[in-house]
Structures are given as structure tokens and as C-alpha cells.
């Protein structure tokens, strides 16, 4: 523990605890107090207390995550549009093929009728 404290002091890390005055276990893990760490001049809150840097980091994280989700939704909509365009093209090709088959069958029937005469 002494070595760890010496290392923390060398790194400029300081731990502060805020507890409830009525807490029989000050600095303990009772859930009523909070603990924060300072690294240099930055505060890192623990126990629900967020320092401004953490609030900004969470906001940036949410914006970044939201941007990813927005891009994925845009990509999915584009993929759906492409799939629908492909389906329409295949349906058009199917209609053309059916029309050609119908025309060829009529031509075949006319040829057979002429050969039977």
C-alpha cells in the first residue's frame, strides 16, 4: 500500500473522499459518499459525480454513437432502394420474356396452321 501511494504521488494522482457526517463508516463503500480521483489538474468522479470532462466525453460519445447509427440507417435505406430497383428491373425483364414467349407461341401456331393447309 505504501508503494502504491508513493507511485500515485509520483504520478500526481490524489484521491479525495466525501462522506456523510452521520456515516459510521466514513470513506467506506456505504453508497452515501463519493470518491473522486485527480490526475494532475483533471478530476475523475466516481460514484455518480461527473466532472465536466466526463460530461463532455459522454456527450461526444453519444454524438459519435448517434452518428454511426444515423449512417447505418442511411445505408440500410439506400440498400432497400437498390433492392427495390433490382426487383422492378427483374419484374420488367419477366414481363418482356412472357410477352416474347406469347408472341413466339402465336407465331408457332400460325406456322402450324399454314403447314396443315
Longest dimension (CA), the chain: 116
**Rounded to an integer, what distance in angstroms lies between the CA atom of residue 35 and that of residue 47?**
6
The 3-state DSSP class for residue 48 equals coil
| pLDDT tens column, 27-54 | 544 444 555 555 555 555 555 566 667 6
Query: Does pTM top 0.75 for this prediction?
Result: no
- CA–CA gap between residue 13 and residue 59 (Å, rounded): 25
Residues 27/49, Cβ–Cβ less than 8 Å: no
Cβ–Cβ < 8 Å for 57, 31: no
pLDDT band at 94 (very low <50, low <70, confident <90, very high): very high
Amino acid at each position: 500500500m505504501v508503494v502504491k501511494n508513493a507511485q500515485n504521488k509520483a504520478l500526481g494522482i490524489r484521491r479525495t473522499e466525501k462522506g456523510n457526517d452521520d456515516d459510521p463508516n466514513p470513506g467506506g463503500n456505504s453508497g452515501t459518499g463519493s470518491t473522486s480521483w485527480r490526475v494532475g489538474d483533471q478530476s475523475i468522479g466516481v460514484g455518480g459525480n461527473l466532472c465536466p470532462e466526463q460530461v463532455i466525453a459522454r456527450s461526444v460519445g453519444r454524438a459519435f454513437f448517434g452518428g454511426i447509427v444515423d449512417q447505418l440507417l442511411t445505408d440500410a435505406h439506400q440498400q432497400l432502394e437498390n433492392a427495390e430497383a433490382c426487383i422492378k428491373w427483374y419484374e420488367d425483364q419477366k414481363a418482356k420474356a412472357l410477352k416474347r414467349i406469347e408472341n413466339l407461341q402465336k407465331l408457332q401456331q400460325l406456322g402450324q396452321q399454314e403447314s396443315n393447309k
